[in-house]
Amino acid sequence: MPVKIGIVVSEFNYDITMMMLERAKEHAEFLGAEITHVVSVPGVFDMPLAIKRLLEKKDVDGVVTLVRS
């Protein structure tokens, strides 16, 4: 059974964080993990609520945060 991951990604520095997201997806696939949710937020201060909501879901084992300040 693969690990199920949620990703929260900041839209601040969009060019960089979207490249980070693509690399994270590729690496998760390489490791055999399944990404069940991807949530975009405006910035780092908006991440805690998104993380909390993802961790409440039954199909999420852990959450990855991607941010570049």
Domains of the chain (ranges plus CATH)? 4-66 (3.40.50.960)
Residue with tokens 């990855």: 64
Q: What one-letter code names the amino acid at 28?
A: A
E strands present in the chain: 4-10, 34-41, 62-66
Cα 15 from Cα 54, distance rounded (Å) = 24
Along the 69 residues of the chain, how does pLDDT read in single tens digits? 899 999 999 999 999 999 999 999 999 999 999 999 999 999 999 999 999 999 999 999 999 999 998
- The pLDDT, as a whole number, for residue 1 is 86
Whole-number pLDDT of residue 69: 80
